[in-house]
Amino acid sequence: MNTIFDYFSNSGTIGTIVLLVLSFYLFLVFYIYIYKHISLNRVLDVEKKSLSYLASGGDISGIISKLGKCIGNSVVSKELLKACETSLLRELSSGTTWLSIVASTAPFIGLFGTVVGILDSFSKFSTHSRVSFSIIAPAISEALVATAAGIFVAIFAYTFHQLIIRKLYIINTYLQSQSEILLLKG
């Protein structure tokens, strides 16, 4: 933690902006994940119950699923079911693009902060006639904090993206199973 505070106090404007952007990214990643996790779990529970109801012989009028709400009182057709599935998955997957954007850009933002920090360190040392490794090493290690922060944020973003995509896949399988049952009963 001291290294991050040292980085903020010793870094220039760009280094500070890089860490602030990465901090915002981290907050955004956790917010999206928690929100999507909770909302997708609710949908998943409803879709499980609806599939169980349909599989045990229930009819379309008793479906509590999002698929049932999408169909409404329309005549069940393969095209309508496919359109409803696609629409529901598009709705449920909103926000996941941000997780992939953060996962792919955070390391580059961190690397940018590191490069600027190293350039800044070298420019400070250019006025000295002799500079030893013991003077350069702390400055470079301090600059590497930005890269570490970028990778740290990217790891969470990528992991959460994969978890959400997996949950969407499971919901999709429930929707498809319901569609198949509705077509058979059709």
Rounded-to-5 percentages of helix, strand, coil across the chain: 85, 0, 15
Please give the pLDDT value at position 1: 63
Please give the pLDDT value at position 59: 75
Structure token digits, residue 68: 């049932």
143-162 tens-digit pLDDT: 888 899 999 999 999 999 99
Which residue numbers in the chain have pLDDT < 50?
Answer: none
What is the Cα–Cα distance from 131 to 135, expressed in whole angstroms? Answer: 7
Please give the pLDDT value at position 186: 66
Q: What is the pTM of this model?
A: 0.85
Please give the pLDDT value at position 159: 97
